[in-house]
């Protein structure tokens, strides 16, 4: 039995020492260097391209890239907690969800992100009423609305009175 154990020990010793440790270290450094150069090349081409790769936007669940939110703009859900608390001019991005049957200038917006994820205009927790002069808006239109928060005591409602509306187009396929 001693012969078998000696053979096993010699096989283990023979396989462990086949490559020198300096060769293994050099190969690892070489591979790491190639990977680092590859990453630097990819980043360099992205930066030389004007950074358009980083700013291109990721496709949303409906397949369209989301337009970037203008500086200082709010989403509809940002107003949910206290709509009366916003004084002065505000810029709000949302998706047209409803049109009032009684007032053709009164629309309801939902949060753009919520509309994209839910893919339904009736699943929102909060609807922001807006009054606009432009009645060409239709459901699923994503809009940037600039205006002031106004309280209507007769209707017991707080709404966004629009000074300007930028229609970004429909988010529905």
Which pLDDT tens digits describe the chain residue by residue (173 residues)? 556 565 555 555 555 555 567 877 788 888 888 888 877 777 776 666 654 444 445 554 555 567 788 898 999 999 999 988 888 899 999 999 999 998 889 999 999 999 988 888 998 999 999 999 877 899 999 999 999 999 988 878 899 999 999 999 999 86
**Is 155 found in the same domain as 105?**
yes
* Residue at 79 is within a domain: yes
Question: Which pLDDT score, from 0 to 100, does residue 93 have?
Answer: 96
**Is 100 found in the same domain as 20?**
no
Question: CA of 110: how far to CAs of 26, 99, 172, in Å?
Answer: 59, 12, 14
Prediction pTM value: 0.61
**Is 78 found in the same domain as 49?**
no
* Residue at 60 is within a domain: no
* Residue at 118 is within a domain: yes
Q: Which domain holds residue 17?
A: 2-53
Q: What is the pLDDT of residues 48-62, one digit of tens each?
A: 665 444 444 555 455
Question: Which pLDDT score, from 0 to 100, does residue 43 have?
Answer: 75
**Is 136 found in the same domain as 94?**
yes
What domain count does the chain have?
Answer: 2
Q: How far apart are alpha carbons 61 and 145 in whole angstroms?
A: 23
* Residue at 133 is within a domain: yes
**Is 41 found in the same domain as 108?**
no
- Give strand ranges (E) for the chain: 74-75, 89-99, 106-110, 128-131, 141-152, 157-170
CATH of the domain at 128: 2.40.50.140
């Amino acid at each position: 039995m001693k012969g078998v154990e000696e053979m096993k020990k010699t096989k283990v010793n023979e396989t462990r020492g086949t490559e020198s440790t300096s060769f293994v270290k050099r190969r690892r450094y070489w591979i790491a260097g190639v990977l680092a150069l590859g990453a630097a090349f990819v980043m360099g081409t992205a930066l030389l391209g004007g950074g358009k790769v980083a700013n291109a936007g990721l496709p949303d669940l409906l397949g369209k890239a989301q337009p970037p939110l203008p500086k200082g703009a709010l989403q509809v859900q940002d107003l949910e907690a206290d709509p009366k608390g916003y004084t002065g001019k505000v810029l709000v991005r949302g998706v047209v969800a409803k049109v009032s049957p009684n007032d053709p200038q009164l629309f309801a917006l939902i949060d753009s992100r919520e509309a994209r994820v839910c893919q339904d205009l009736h699943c929102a927790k909060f609807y922001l009423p807006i009054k606009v002069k432009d009645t060409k808006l239709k459901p699923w239109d994503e809009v940037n609305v600039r205006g002031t928060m106004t309280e209507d005591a007769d209707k017991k409602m707080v709404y966004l009175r629009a000074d300007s509306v930028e229609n970004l187009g429909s988010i529905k396929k």
